[in-house]
Amino acid sequence: MPEAQPLIGKVAIVTGASAGIGQATSRSLAAAGAHVVVTARRLDRLEDLVSEIRARGGSAVARTANAADLGDVRAVVEDTLAQDGRIEILVNNAGVMKVAPITDNDVDDWTTMVDVNIKGVLHFLSAVMPHMVEQGSGHIVSVGSLAGRRPFPGGSVYAATKFAIRALSWGLHLELGAAHDIRITDIQPGYVATELLADQPDTLAAWSEAWSDRRTLQPEDVARAVEFAVTSPDHVSVSEVLIRPTDQPT
């Protein structure tokens, strides 16, 4: 582990930690000294991540949860508080993206995105916020998207969920910042090489072809942005970070 550990003694919850940005962020926060509670639905992947972090000298535990299930979310937060007594950082990263023309009228996919990308964030906010208000400090990071600034064809509903995160994040800053010393950050990545489209092989193949001669963001690039925000001095609130591949043309 590196000598500089600005998050030593702090407790962080990272959602969607079984892959991609969540996994990379968990590694980064642990390396910076935080005790990281990694949560997602796939326990085997979480346990592998915890073993890796511990092998590197870090501190982490795995707790399974579906972000769309409020009972699951409350259990993770209650267990964390019972074991560790505090939660300084929440990274809302769990998310899904279903790409299809709006005329496909796939309400089930729309509902899934709303349930995870919006309600999942609200569930963790609801569970963690009272504790942060009581302790008079905290940092809530949500992984939004460049799509939260500009929709793209086939991604209208996904973009709508990320627009919602952008609005929520700014509203939380206004309500929780000066009044309760809780910092709020919306991280907005462009195209990142993750498993987000793994369940849509045709779309993934098309996007991979379109990006075959371009450099994408890697999960570690986004993790660095998260670490930058949460390790900034207490009087500094990094409200938004827009991070795009240099090669992204839109």
Tokens representing 200 are: 């849509």
Residues written for the chain? 250
The DSSP secondary structure of 158-177, one letter per residue, reads: HHHHHHHHHHHHHHHHHHHH
135 within 8 A of 129, measured Cβ to Cβ: no
Q: Are 236 and 181 within 8 A, CB to CB?
A: no
3 state DSSP class of 10: coil
| CA atoms in the 13 A half-sphere facing the CB of 218 | 5
- What is the Cα 12 distance to its own chain's centre? 12
Q: Is 14 helix (H, G, I), strand (E, B) or coil?
A: strand
How far is 183 from 169, CA to CA, in rounded Å?
A: 10
| Dihedral of the alpha carbons of 8, 10, 16, 21, in degrees to the nearest 10 | -40
Which positions are catalytic?
158
Element (H, E) at 192: none
